[in-house]
């Protein structure tokens, strides 16, 4: 089954802007007064607006001549490409989902690649906060500073035909992210058909029949109009979409302490706003699509048990492949502690 859909931060979580030439990139790399931030988020979306708010705080603290450039809509390439651009100095930061973040630090996949593990946002928040210090240290060791954590809703399955059981999807073709070969291998071994594509290819691919299913947040499905071609949504919270705003350690170290403090404060505020608003938008987006013809299919208890059985079958396959063994075990331990506390 599709284990993640971390491509949300594209066009509703993809449209192209302008890709700057190498000469401009070299100028930005040499100029500590400039921060270039890439993302797949759509222009004028909640996520884009929060990045602009962070930009204003940084520019004010940095002073005259400071330029903070935000490139939404995937204009700097996919998330793996943006991670590469940060490493060579063409970008100084990015707002990424787990798909891009795992290009930097693979253990981050633990927050998004475990289907049906988190029952609600409170469980995710608890586990993320417990793991946050160690996770941010790992990113720092790789040359990146995590400024804010966010999320973008739950992944649900949007398909051309109605489907309720895991086996119903075996006759369909899934959108899959090209940079996740482990996920594709697991899917194929279970009888599913992944079709690796870029996020920008989703809409034409489902319109032409290249794919039949898009694992997506409701926000993405609404923003890109995917639901018009895939008008059936399976109402299960398959996995949360988790992301973070990161900047290179080189860019961070070039800032004065007061600038770092201003950027940190603004980023913390942006992360909180993204989490609050994105969670509200899940059901708002579903309601909006239902008014325009979306059919919501909710599994009955017997069908839901088939989904949880599938997830249980997947965990041993994910542990040590998609998620490092020690991180997988840490997530499970933290979740067990949280649930034990809630049961008292």
* 3-state secondary structure string across the chain: CCCCCCCCCCCCCCCCCCCCCHHHHHHHHHCCCEEEEEECCCCCCHHHHHHHHHHHHHHHHHCCCCEEEEECCCCCCCHHHHHHHHHCCCCCEEEEEHHHHCCCCHHHHHHCCCCCCCCCHHHHHHHHHHHHHHHHHHHHHCCEEEEEEEEEEECEEEECCCCCCHHHHHHCEEEEECCCHHHHHHHHHCCCEEEEECHHHHHHHHHHCCCCEEEECHHHHHHHCHHHHCCEEECCCCCEEEEEEEEEHHHHHCCCHHHHHHHHHHHHHHHHHHHHHHHHHHHHHHHHHHCCCCEEECCCHHHHHHHHHHHHHHHHHHECCCECHHHHHHHHHHHHHHHHHHHC
Identify the pLDDT of residue 22.
31
The confidence band for 269, taking pLDDT boundaries of 50, 70 and 90, is: very high
| pLDDT of 21 strictly over 80 | no
Place of tokens 């931030």: 37
| pLDDT of 18 strictly over 70 | no
22-152+242-280 and 156-238+291-343: identical CATH topology? yes
The confidence band for 198, taking pLDDT boundaries of 50, 70 and 90, is: confident
Identify the pLDDT of residue 270.
95
Identify the pLDDT of residue 104.
97
Residues 96-112: what's their mean pLDDT? 93
Q: Please give the Cα distance from 64 to 33 (Å, whole number).
A: 9
pLDDT tens-digit profile of 52-70?
A: 999 999 999 999 889 999 9
pTM of the model: 0.85
Residues 73-100: what's their mean pLDDT? 94
pLDDT tens-digit profile of 277-308?
A: 888 888 899 999 999 999 999 999 999 999 99
pLDDT tens-digit profile of 118-154?
A: 999 999 999 999 999 999 999 999 999 999 999 989 9
Q: Please give the Cα distance from 267 to 37 (Å, whole number).
A: 13
288, with CB counted inside 10 A (0-12, 13-18, 19+), is middle
3-state secondary structure 86-97: HHCCCCCEEEEE
Among the listed residues 186, 206, 168, 180, the one whose alpha carbon sits nearest the alpha carbon of residue 299: 168
Among the listed residues 11, 19, 71, 18, the one whose alpha carbon sits nearest the alpha carbon of residue 41: 11
pLDDT tens-digit profile of 159-190?
A: 999 999 999 999 999 998 766 788 889 999 99
Residues 97-102: what's their mean pLDDT? 92
Identify the pLDDT of residue 31.
53
Q: Please give the Cα distance from 120 to 300 (Å, whole number).
A: 19
Between 179 and 47, the higher pLDDT residue: 47
Residues 90-115: what's their mean pLDDT? 94
Residues 228-240: what's their mean pLDDT? 96
| pLDDT of 27 strictly over 50 | no
| pLDDT of 24 strictly over 80 | no
Average pLDDT, the chain: 88
For strand 144-154 and strand 295-297, is the pairing parallel, antiparallel, or unpaired? unpaired
Q: Please give the Cα distance from 156 to 285 (Å, whole number).
A: 12
Q: Please give the Cα distance from 7 to 174 (Å, whole number).
A: 14
Domain boundaries, the chain: 22-152+242-280, 156-238+291-343
For strand 93-97 and strand 34-39, is the pairing parallel, antiparallel, or unpaired? parallel
Among the listed residues 318, 225, 249, 289, the one whose alpha carbon sits nearest the alpha carbon of residue 14: 225
Q: Which fold has domain 156-238+291-343?
A: D-Maltodextrin-Binding Protein; domain 2 (3.40.190)
Q: Which fold has domain 22-152+242-280?
A: D-Maltodextrin-Binding Protein; domain 2 (3.40.190)
């Amino acid at each position: 089954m599709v284990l993640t859909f971390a491509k949300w931060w594209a066009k509703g979580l993809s449209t192209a802007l302008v890709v700057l030439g190498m000469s401009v990139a070299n100028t930005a790399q040499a100029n500590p007064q400039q921060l270039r931030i890439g993302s797949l988020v759509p222009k004028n979306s909640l996520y884009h607006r929060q990045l602009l708010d962070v930009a204003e705080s940084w520019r004010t603290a940095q002073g005259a001549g400071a330029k903070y450039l935000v490139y939404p809509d995937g204009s700097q390439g996919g998330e793996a490409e943006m991670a590469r651009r940060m490493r060579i100095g063409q970008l100084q930061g990015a707002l990424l989902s787990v798909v891009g973040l795992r290009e930097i630090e693979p253990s981050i996949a633990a927050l998004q690649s475990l289907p049906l593990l988190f029952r609600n946002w409170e469980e995710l928040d608890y586990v993320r906060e417990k793991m946050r210090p160690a996770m941010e240290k790992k990113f720092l060791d790789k040359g990146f500073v995590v400024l804010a954590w966010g999320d973008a809703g739950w992944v649900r399955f949007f398909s051309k035909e109605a489907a309720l059981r895991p086996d119903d999807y075996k006759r369909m073709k899934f959108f899959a992210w090209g940079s996740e070969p482990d996920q594709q291998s697991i899917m194929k071994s279970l009888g599913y058909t992944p079709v690796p594509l870029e996020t920008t290819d989703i809409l034409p691919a489902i319109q032409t029949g290249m794919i039949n299913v898009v694992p997506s947040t409701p926000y993405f499905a609404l923003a890109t109009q995917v639901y018009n071609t895939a008008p059936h949504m399976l109402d299960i919270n398959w996995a949360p979409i988790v992301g973070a705003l990161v900047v290179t350690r080189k860019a961070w170290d070039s800032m004065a302490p007061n600038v770092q403090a201003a950027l940190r404060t603004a980023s913390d505020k942006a992360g909180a706003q993204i989490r609050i608003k994105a969670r509200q938008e899940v059901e708002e987006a579903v309601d909006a699509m239902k008014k325009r013809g979306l059919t919501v299919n909710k599994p009955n208890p017997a069908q839901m048990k088939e989904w949880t059985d599938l997830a249980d079958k997947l965990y041993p396959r994910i542990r040590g492949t998609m998620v490092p063994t020690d991180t997988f075990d840490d997530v499970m331990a933290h979740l067990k502690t949280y649930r034990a506390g809630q049961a008292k």
